Amino acid sequence: MTMTITHLGTGSRGNSTLLETPRVKVLIDQGFSGTQLEKRLARLQLTPHDIDCVFISHHHGDHGGGARIMQTKWETRILANERTALELDLLPEHTTFFEALDMIRVGDDLAILPVPVPHSGSDNVAFVASHAGERAAIITDLGSWTDELVAHVRGCEHISIEANYDHNKLISGPYPYRLKDRISGRGGHLSNDQTGQFLAEVCTEATRTITLTHLSQKNNRPHLAESTVLYYIADVFSGDLRISDQDGPDFSHYIGKADTDEAVETPLHN
């Protein structure tokens, strides 16, 4: 019994993550056009018709802008909180509301828990997916974290979380001051240092894989994100750390496999 976690792409031009168990296939967010979604799923030998449902973290276009096209073109069920659904103008007949911290079962081998996170202008949630006694956290845009989020993510076998910017690159970069202030504020995004600090709180010996997501193309670099995060978690994490970019999918993580099996596969280079 294995759950596969595959980022179809993360960044300002679109975000979506596939969770696949033996029984169901679920997307976390859908920020791509229908054509882009088809292209990315095809690399996994899938089509949008194979997706059982989509969970949307918040209404910003790079996370939910492609949700309605899934409803109109493929009649896919979208799950979101009420504000997100209204902001995205989702079709009522193909939309299911959820409340934060309500456990949602998808089929008989996957459960999804939405957990509130701070992010400006949205009722954003992270998701903790449970399968076969193990958990994977998919944490999208957030400018800080709460004790509640720490409690739900601590000890997850897999954690995907944004490492959006390097502080020095953001401050010295070309963005106007107001935008810099918004990005670095409580409702903005996590810096590499903040992501490392958060992971140091939630990683345990159970945590085997981490994916860093949503790196800014102007204000970050993969080697900066990786080295900064590893500085904070070196004493608590010895597993596999990968970086997801905009042009995925490139790799998959697995939970629920035997310890002798590989936790990561990199087969996606069509």
In a domain, 235, yes or no: yes
Q: What is the pLDDT of residues 54-78, one digit of tens each?
A: 999 999 999 999 999 999 999 999 9
In a domain, 213, yes or no: yes
Q: What is the pLDDT of residues 209-268, one digit of tens each?
A: 999 999 999 999 999 999 999 999 999 999 999 999 999 999 999 998 654 355 555 555
In a domain, 54, yes or no: yes
In a domain, 72, yes or no: yes
In a domain, 31, yes or no: yes
In a domain, 270, yes or no: no
Q: How confident is the model at residue 270 (pLDDT cuts 50, 70, 90)?
A: very low
Domain containing residue 172: CATH number? 3.60.15.10
Q: How confident is the model at residue 186 (pLDDT cuts 50, 70, 90)?
A: confident
Q: How confident is the model at residue 50 (pLDDT cuts 50, 70, 90)?
A: very high
- Give the chain's domain count: 1
Residue 139 one-letter amino acid: I
Contact between 20 and 8 (Cβ < 8 Å): no
In b/e form, how buried is each residue of 166-188, taking b as 16+ CB within 10 angstroms?
Answer: bbebbeeeebeeeebebbbeebb
pTM, rounded to two decimals? 0.94
In a domain, 75, yes or no: yes
Domain boundaries, position 135: 3-265
